Amino acid sequence: MYPEKSISLSEAQKRLIEVWGKLAYSWGVGPTMAQIFALLYVYPEPLDTDVIIETLGISRGNVSINLRKLIEWGLIHKIEIPSSRRSLYTAERDIWLIAANIVRKRFEREIEPMNELLEELLQRPDVRSDPHTMKVLKQIQEVLSAVNLVTQLALPVMVTADREHMLRILEYWRRRLSGADASSLSGQLPGDFREASGDSLPS
């Protein structure tokens, strides 16, 4: 049932693995980690470490490290085989959950530490006595708070069972905002905009 040696990939599968590796770099995912995930995602059956090593030409140590990271990120699943020391790995198939997990991990790794650092700096006596520095740090904090809010609102949408309904609502607002004059939106809340237009949200 499971391949014992190297597997054959189509040209399209090879290209997807290459492209995913480049794309994932911009998401903060290492290229090796991305390539392993892409292999597990495009191949229909679970694969073991030896097959991954042989197929991608990556060292055993590098594969082991990145498999652990992928499990930690919630991007792949480990399958234990009864009466065997061998384990199999398969990718998470829900692409929306994959995207949500990547966003969540990047937030934990990058935004949360920055928020903690800003809180620490804002409590320093030398900073509190410097109005300019206080203003700059608070402005950065406001931006990060906005990013935090957007992230917290977006993640449930990405993993909800009623995703199609949420996507229709988002598409509605995308069309409305892209068709509106920028100056008319300044300082205007979405609710005000909806009431002013007389339109209703999609059901």
Separation CA 127–CA 135 (nearest Å): 10
6 lies in some domain: no
100 plus 75 within the same structural domain: no
What is the total count of domains within the chain? 3
**Residue range(s) defining the domain that contains residue 180:** 160-203
**SS3 label, residue 76:** strand
Span 27-47, average pLDDT: 87
| pTM of the predicted model over 0.85 | no
In a domain, 66, yes or no: yes
Tens digits of per-residue pLDDT, 108-153? Answer: 888 889 989 999 999 999 999 999 999 999 999 999 888 888 888 7
From 73, 93, 113, the end of a domain falls on: 93
Q: Which long-range contacts (CB under 8 A, 24 or more apart) does 35-43 make?
A: 36/63, 36/66, 36/67, 36/70, 36/76, 37/70, 37/75, 37/76, 37/91, 39/9, 40/76, 40/89, 40/90, 40/91, 41/91, 41/93, 42/9, 42/13, 42/16, 42/17, 43/7, 43/9, 43/13
Q: What average pLDDT does this structure show over 90-100?
A: 87
Same domain, 87 and 101: no
**Predicted pLDDT at 81:** 83
d(CA 179, CA 195): 16
